[in-house]
Amino acid sequence: MVGIPYPGTDEIAERRRKWLDPDFKPKKLREISDDDIVKLLGHRKPGMAYSSVHPPLDEIKEPPDPIKELVEPTDGARHGDRIRYIQFTDSQHFAPLPPWLRFRIYATNREFRGFDSLAYSGRTLLEMRERDIDRVAKTLLETEMFDTARCALRSITVHGYSLRLDEDGLMFDARRRYIYDKERGEVVYVKTQQSVPLEEPVPVGPPLPEEELKKMATVYRFDHVPPTVADELMKVVKRIGELRVLGGLRPDLINGK
């Protein structure tokens, strides 16, 4: 497996290396139709044509540019699509990926091209051309990158990632975009990521068992794999923290560090 160097021999470090491999293909766990994904994203109605912000590249006459000869445009860029987004909130309670790692996967995995992204403490935004977003949303929602209870589509009011899970094991959502259907044993979205009510509910599958989520965990926790086992990683983190403080307050003390 070829990827960026990452320290450690424990199971968390191994999983992080796996996810940061540019050629890693996450395992598919569920099937969500293309139309249902379009409904959840909320940018257009299923069957509607993509709107554009410029003509297709083939119709634009531009001066020769060697860089454009080297970089293959994405399908959305080639058609002149608008920029659209998908945003995830990941629970602190054994979600498959924390926001910072989800962000780095976008940057390292070869499936994600022509994008802009940023990660906050509890959510990760991904912006791409619209048909490119539709394509990668299949991977983001159907694979082990997403658990239907511990991850959520939220473009607004993202709060709740650090709160206790509800009685059904779902992450708190002030907008109530999804519910747990006890009869079906599945999580069902009743609103889009923008919290606009859907005409018909969209089932996204059953939540993964807690023990299975622990086997997929990528975060050090004192109640699972403690950070104390990651000696090299902790040394680097502590050094970065120390140098940031000294660099801002006493840069004269950095010499030799």
Q: What is the DSSP string of 160-224?
A: -TTSPP-TTSPPP-TT--EEEETTTTEEEEEE-TT-PEEEEEEEEEPPPPHHHHHHH--S--TTS
Is the alpha carbon torsion for 166, 170, 176, 178 positive or negative?
Answer: negative
Of the pLDDT bands very low, low, confident and very high (cuts 50, 70, 90), residue 122 is: confident
Is 179 buried (19+), middle (13-18) or exposed (0-12) by CB count in 10 A? middle
Is 238 found in the same domain as 175?
Answer: no
pLDDT, tens digit, for every residue of 150-166?
999 999 999 899 999 99
Asked whether residue 2 is domain-assigned, the answer is: no
As a whole number, mean pLDDT of residues 88-117 equals 95
Asked whether residue 203 is domain-assigned, the answer is: yes
Is 206 found in the same domain as 232?
Answer: no
- The pLDDT assigned to 3 comes to 57
CATH code for the domain in which residue 59 is found: 3.90.320.20
Asked whether residue 4 is domain-assigned, the answer is: no
Host domain of residue 245? 226-257
| Separation CA 149–CA 169 (nearest Å) | 6
DSSP 52: B
Mean pLDDT of the residues in the chain: 94
Q: What is the chain's alpha carbon radius of gyration, rounded to the nearest angstrom?
A: 21
Query: What total of structural domains would you count in the chain?
Result: 2
**Which of 109, 115, 112 is CA-nearest to residue 129?**
115
